[in-house]
């Protein structure tokens, strides 16, 4: 993922409560199993007068020339509710949105944002309304947006600022994990299939446990 530190962009207003993931990208627009090829279906019910023919609705905010390059979306309460489809976040990201500001988010959608490099910022409705149509700056390390502070969990902040997904974040602790596993093998060798030092596939067993018999080809049987 691309690390997120600061972002300056015009803020596009979409002040509608309870925007669900089927509106962000309807299931009929999910024609890709990957993270690309989805931007065309973003907000299809609102963005097009005829979605099949791709006839744009000029009144929709993201179709207006002033917001065509917006990377910050201002939204209403409970944004991203509905199904857990991660495609909603992928479509927003592919279109170019990097930050969404709303009074509240659906929890699963919020987690999907963080795992895919989008910053979800929760603020009261009044300061969000004041940002509409203005060029504003988001400072994630300082946890400030347009002069307002915001909260973000330390783990989510680390993932975004360092551009890490959940696996990469875990692998930062690889040495500590390996040290714990080595110590645990010493304490409880019987729960591990083989010895890391011997490397011969010989199974560990509880003290006093009789090893299983082996066939001529080396297979174990009991």
Whichever domain contains 66, its CATH number is 3.20.19.10
pLDDT above 70 (res 164): yes
**Cα separation of 27 and 85, whole Å?**
9
pLDDT value for 220: 45
Buried b (16+ CB within 10 A) or exposed e, 19-34: bbbbbbbbeebbeeee
| Res. 178 pLDDT band, cuts 50 70 90 | very high
Q: Interior CA angle at 106 toward 159 and 59, to 5°? A: 100
Q: How many domains in the chain?
A: 2
pLDDT value for 200: 46
Q: Are residues 82 and 157 both part of a single domain? A: yes
Which residue segment(s) compose the domain that 187 sits in? Answer: 174-212
| Res. 113 pLDDT band, cuts 50 70 90 | very high
pLDDT value for 207: 53
Q: Are residues 44 and 145 both part of a single domain? A: yes
Of 128-132, 187-191, 216-220, the range with the lowest mean pLDDT is 216-220
pLDDT value for 12: 98
pLDDT above 80 (res 156): yes
What is the average per-residue pLDDT within 7-17? 98
pLDDT value for 1: 86
What is the average per-residue pLDDT within 151-176? 92
Burial of 88 (0-12, 13-18, 19+ CB in 10 A): buried
Asked whether residue 82 is domain-assigned, the answer is: yes
pLDDT above 50 (res 69): yes
Asked whether residue 218 is domain-assigned, the answer is: no
| Helix, strand or coil, per DSSP, at residue 44 | helix
What is the average per-residue pLDDT within 168-176? 89
Of 1-15, 70-84, 111-125, 188-202, the range with the lowest mean pLDDT is 188-202
| Helix, strand or coil, per DSSP, at residue 167 | helix
Asked whether residue 148 is domain-assigned, the answer is: yes
Q: Are residues 39 and 142 both part of a single domain? A: yes
pLDDT value for 191: 87
pLDDT above 90 (res 194): no
Asked whether residue 107 is domain-assigned, the answer is: yes
pLDDT value for 203: 46
Mean pLDDT of the chain: 89
**Cα separation of 64 and 33, whole Å?**
29
What is the average per-residue pLDDT within 157-168? 92
| Res. 34 pLDDT band, cuts 50 70 90 | confident
Asked whether residue 219 is domain-assigned, the answer is: no
Q: Are residues 191 and 148 both part of a single domain? A: no
pLDDT above 50 (res 32): yes
The residues near 58 (Cβ < 8 Å, ≥ 6 apart) are 64
Asked whether residue 221 is domain-assigned, the answer is: no
Q: Are residues 142 and 99 both part of a single domain? A: yes
């Amino acid at each position: 993922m691309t690390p997120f530190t600061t972002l300056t962009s015009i803020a596009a207003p979409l002040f509608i409560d309870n925007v669900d993931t089927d509106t962000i990208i309807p299931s009929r627009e999910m024609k890709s199993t990957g993270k690309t090829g989805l931007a065309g279906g973003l907000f299809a019910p609102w963005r097009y007068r005829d979605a099949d023919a791709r006839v744009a609705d000029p009144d929709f905010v993201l179709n207006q020339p002033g917001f065509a390059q917006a990377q910050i979306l201002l939204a209403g309460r409970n944004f991203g509710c509905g199904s857990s489809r991660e495609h909603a976040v992928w479509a927003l990201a592919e279109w170019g949105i990097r930050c969404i500001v709303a009074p509240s988010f659906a929890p699963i959608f919020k987690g999907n944002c963080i795992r895919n490099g989008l910053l979800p910022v929760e603020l009261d409705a009044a300061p969000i309304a004041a940002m509409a149509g203005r060029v504003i700056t988001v400072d994630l390390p300082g946890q400030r947006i347009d002069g307002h502070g915001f909260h973000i969990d330390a783990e989510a902040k680390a993932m975004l600022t360092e551009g890490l997904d959940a696996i990469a974040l875990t692998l930062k602790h690889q040495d500590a994990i390996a040290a714990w596993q080595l110590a645990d093998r010493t304490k409880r060798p019987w729960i591990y299939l083989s010895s890391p030092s011997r490397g011969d596939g010989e199974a560990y067993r509880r003290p006093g446990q009789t090893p299983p018999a082996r066939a001529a080809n080396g297979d174990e049987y009991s």
